[in-house]
Amino acid sequence: MIRFFDIFFSLIGLILVSPLFIILSIWIKTDSMGPVFFIQERVGRNDINFSLYKFRSMDYKSQNNIQITVGNRDPRITRSGYFIRRYKLDELPQLINVLLGQMSLVGPRPEVRKYVNLYNEDQRVILSVKPGITDYASIKFVNENDLLAKSTDPEKIYIEEILPHKIELNMIFINNPSLRQYFHIILLTLKKLFN
């Protein structure tokens, strides 16, 4: 049943935001050199890699080696990128991933292989479900980049503090993947974004 709602909402969402897709695409292309989309390999269900789509928010030459973004004032972020990241518009193309069945609207955020390789055996249960656009961890760490910007060693903070806490929050939905919780997380996410 969750897959039905994923298809329904992602299809409706893509139709409704298609004018915004066009506007953002033109802005990104005229603002800086490079493609409209940033495509990054992430780890999905059953430990299988897939290509995650985002609107490109960084300078094309510097984005390929990025694992963590530090703060919204990272000098690699383009002018259009500041805007689309602030309002989470860079995440909209992931509706394509949802429609393709690689992701769900709700589920643990997909990580890059580098960080998945750090999971212990218990934490790897996350790979038994589809990754998602939002979940409890995404809501709690909506300002993750700003938190990392305050650290002298952001990657260490991410690996040792943020990532384990995210995994704990991921387990709430994984242990009870009900439609009620699915809609609850979507509503919490919308409330957080609009606030």
- Map residue 70 onto helix, strand or coil: coil
Choose the weakest-confidence range: 8-22, 111-125, 151-165, 177-191. 151-165
Question: pLDDT of 47-56, one tens digit each?
Answer: 999 999 999 9
Angstrom CA distances, 73 to 82, 83, 150, stand at 8, 11, 12
What is the sign of the dihedral through the CA atoms of 74, 72, 155 and 62?
A: negative
Q: What is the pTM of this model?
A: 0.90
| β-strands 49-55, 104-106 pairing | unpaired
The span from the CA of 101 to the CA of 3, in Å, is 8
Residue 32's closest CA among 73, 67, 62? 62
The span from the CA of 41 to the CA of 173, in Å, is 24
The span from the CA of 169 to the CA of 31, in Å, is 37
pLDDT band at 61 (very low <50, low <70, confident <90, very high): confident
pLDDT band at 111 (very low <50, low <70, confident <90, very high): very high
Question: pLDDT of 120-175, one tens digit each?
Answer: 999 999 999 999 999 999 999 988 887 887 888 888 999 999 999 999 999 999 99
Mean pLDDT for the stretch of residues 77-84: 93
Can you read off the two tokens belonging to residue 158? 């991410």
C-alpha radius of gyration, the chain, whole number: 16
- What pLDDT shows up at residue 117? 96
pLDDT band at 60 (very low <50, low <70, confident <90, very high): confident
The answer to whether the beta carbons of residues 50 and 41 sit under 8 Å apart is yes
Residue 66 has pLDDT above 60, yes or no: no
Residue 71 has pLDDT above 60, yes or no: no
Domain ranges of the chain: 2-194
pLDDT band at 31 (very low <50, low <70, confident <90, very high): very high
Residue 65 has pLDDT above 70, yes or no: no
Mean pLDDT for the stretch of residues 164-188: 95
Q: What does the mean pLDDT of the chain come to?
A: 91
Can you read off the two tokens belonging to residue 64? 């390929």
Residues, the chain? 195
- CA atoms within a 13 Å half-sphere pointing along the CA-CB vector of 114: 10
Q: At what angle do helices 179-194 and 2-16 cross, to 10 degrees?
A: 30
- Map residue 48 onto helix, strand or coil: coil
